Amino acid sequence: MSTADEVGASNSAGSSGFRRWVRLVPALLLVASATFVAAYYVPLRRAHLLLIEEQRRSNQRGKDLEQTLSQVRGELQQTTAQVEKLEAERRQTEDAKKSGLARVEQLKTELAGKLDKQIKKGTAAVAVADGQALVALPETAVFLAHKLDVSPQGRALLCHVAGAVAAIGQAPIRVGAVSGPPDLESPALKSGYPTPWALSAARAASVAQTLQDACSLPGARLSAVGHAEHDPAGAALGESKLPAGRVEISIALPGEPGGAK
């Protein structure tokens, strides 16, 4: 083969090799691109999507926390308002109680002034029991001997009491009677009222009737109850040394237990 032929053959081989590289370059670029995508883009894309999802979850948690915080704030405000309301009611109740007790003590003082002579003689006692002013009178100072009729002396005592409480609005007035020893009662009273309950109830009713008829207290303010030999106010009258048989008149001021509203 001549030199020219060798050169031609060499050029032909070079041209063929160049063409093969030209054909390989797109494939190599495609492989490189695929490698880049597989090695970098896909993980980055996944990481980006994960970050977006985490951001969405964080935002949702933030919204949930904000909603919970708003709800807690609302509940706290309601609780605070309720506590403040209860505290205000407690203070109001305490103030009313203090005011009521002061008024009861004032009424007690007024009653004691009107019954001063009787108290000094031991024929009357004034006290405070269960938040109510209380006047106690021996039955011997109120009733005619061995009868249910109120004596003139008893009527005067009852009207003294009525005068002290007449101006106190519509405050209820309860008349209670406590029976003394049964063996001290007259046969006539025992015959008509065979039990201490019946006799004490009759005495209480007689006093209430006198307060209404002779002392001008409205009947709507009066009530009568017999205690038999039991004495709910005995502890408050412990120092009075009054006999067991007695009449007790209690006045409940407005706002106090049992008082007018």
pLDDT band at 14 (very low <50, low <70, confident <90, very high): low
Q: Which of 205, 246, 250 is nearest to 225 (CA)?
A: 205
Answer whether residue 260 shows pLDDT above 50.
Answer: no
pLDDT of residue 9: 54
Answer whether residue 16 shows pLDDT above 70.
Answer: no
The pTM (predicted TM-score) of the whole model is: 0.61
Rounded CA-CA distance 97/257 in Å is 10
Q: State the helix-helix crossing angle for 152-165 and 42-114, rounded to 10 degrees.
A: 140
Answer whether residue 173 shows pLDDT above 60.
Answer: yes
Q: State the helix-helix crossing angle for 152-165 and 196-213, rounded to 10 degrees.
A: 70
Answer whether residue 215 shows pLDDT above 80.
Answer: yes
Number of neighbours of residue 52 by Cβ within 10 angstroms: 10
Rounded CA-CA distance 72/4 in Å is 98
The bridge status of strand 173-178 relative to strand 222-226 is parallel
pLDDT of residue 203: 95
Rounded CA-CA distance 116/130 in Å is 23
Number of neighbours of residue 161 by Cβ within 10 angstroms: 24
Number of neighbours of residue 146 by Cβ within 10 angstroms: 11
Per-chain mean pLDDT for the chain: 80
Cα distances (Å, whole numbers) of residue 10 to 3, 7, 20, 150, 248: 10, 5, 15, 158, 146
Domain at 115-251, CATH from 3.90.1300.10, 3.40.50.720, 3.30.1330.60, 3.30.420.280:
3.30.1330.60
pLDDT band at 81 (very low <50, low <70, confident <90, very high): confident
pLDDT of residue 96: 47
pLDDT of residue 91: 66
Answer whether residue 226 shows pLDDT above 90.
Answer: yes
Domain boundaries defined on the chain: 115-251
